[in-house]
Structure 1
């Protein structure tokens, strides 16, 4: 079984190898990464960190990931996971340790849960819906971000290619 970071490396290859159906930013430097983690009050798990370092934010075959990025129009404001996480915490009462990484397309937020760290420093991937407080009632999508994201994107690319 591959590690979460190995899965992230495979996802990087998948995105780069399918540039006709993928988009990404230019990556995220160490200073921006540190500012993002400070703003969120939590470190990113290694597999998510690796993808943010590489792409900042990315999408492939219709699967969009928030990542961390800035734009000229918004200046120094940290967008993506940082903005969406802080927004969900303040507006919808999302637990203060969860980190938003994508939208589930049905009104929920795909989040990382730093309260359950595995031996590799990875966090489980859950779906948080406004109003849910008990983590036992949250759908678990994966044990780590890298494996979850790679599997999701691999299926999306296969469906895209088969339908085209």
Structure 2
């Protein structure tokens, strides 16, 4: 079984191999990554960090990930996970140890729970619904971001290719 960072490396390969159905930014430099973690008050797990370094933000076969990026129109504002996490905290009272990584398409936020780091420093992937404070009731999607994202994208690419 591959670890979280290995899964992220496999996902990077998958995105590049399927560039006809994938999009991504140019990556995220160390200075921007540090600013993102400072703004959030929590460090990214290595598997998520690796994907942000490579892509900044990305999508493949319809699966969209927030990542961390900036645009000329928004200037120095950190978009993606940073903006969405800070918005969810201020607007909906999302706990400060959750990091938004994507939307679940049903009103929930796919988050990393930094309060539950494993021995490798990876966080479980959960669904947080605005207004819900009970963590025990949160749906668990994966044990770490790298494995979750790789599995999700691998299935999405297979479905896309089969339907096309």
For the criterion TM > 0.5, the same-fold answer is yes
Runs (5+) with no aligned partner, structure 1: none
TM-score, normalisation: structure 1: 0.99
1:64 Cα offset (Å):
0.1
Matches within 5 A, 1:6-85: 6-85=6-85
**RMSD (Å), alpha carbons:** 0.4
Structure 1: distance between partners of 2:66 and 2:39: 16
Runs (5+) with no aligned partner, structure 2: none
Give every structure 1 segment of 4 or more consecutive aligned residues whose post-TM-superposition deviation is greater than 3 Å. none
Structure 2: distance between partners of 1:107 and 1:134: 17
Structure 1: distance between partners of 2:162 and 2:31: 41
Structure 2: distance between partners of 1:81 and 1:55: 13
TM-score, normalisation: structure 2: 0.99
1:77 Cα offset (Å):
0.1
Structure 2: distance between partners of 1:120 and 1:9: 16
Structure 1: distance between partners of 2:90 and 2:96: 9
Matches within 5 A, 1:1-164: 1-164=1-164
Superimposed CA distance per residue, residues 75-94 of structure 1 (whole angstroms, 9 cap, x where no aligned partner): 00000000000000000111
